[in-house]
Amino acid sequence: MKWILFFGALIGAPISICSREKFFGDQVFRINVRNGDEISKLKKLVNSDNLKLSLWKSFSTLGLPVDVLVPAVSLQPVKFFLKSQDLDYSVTIEDLQSLLDKEHEEMQHNEEQERSNNNFNYEAYHSLEAIYQEMDNIAGDFPELASRVKIGHSFENRPMYVLKFSTGKGSQRPAIWLNAGMHSREWISQATAMWTARKIVSDYGNDPAVTSILEKMDIFLLPVANPDGYVYTHTQNRLWRKTRSLNPGSSCIGVDPNRNWNASFAGGGASDNPCSEVYHGPHANSEVEVKSVVDFIQEHGNFKCFIDLHSYSQLLMYPYAYTVKKARDADELDKVARCAAKALASLLGTQYNVGSTCTTVYQASGSSIDWAYDNGIKYAFTFELRDTGHYGFLLPADQIVPTAKETWLGLKTIMKHVRDHLY
Query: How many C-beta neighbours within 10 Å does residue 225 have?
Result: 29
- 157-161 long-range contacts, CB within 8 A, separation 24+: 158/128, 158/227, 158/228, 158/231, 159/132, 159/227, 160/222, 160/224, 160/225, 160/227, 160/289, 160/292, 161/132, 161/135, 161/222, 161/224
Residue 309 near residue 178 (C-beta atoms within 8 A): yes
Rg (CA), the chain: 21
384 catalytic? Reply is: yes
Calculate the dihedral angle through the C-alpha atoms of 406, 326, 294, 145, rounding to the nearest 10 degrees. 30
287 in helix, strand or coil? coil
Cα(first)–Cα(last) distance of the chain, in Å? 55
Choose, from 103, 186, 289, 384, the residue flagged as catalytic: 384
Distance set, CA 211 to CA 215, 303, 346 (Å) = 6, 19, 22
Residue 324: Cβ-neighbour burial (10 angstroms; 0-12, 13-18, 19+): exposed
CA angle 299–300–306, rounded 5-degree value: 110
Q: Hey, which residues are catalytic here?
A: 384
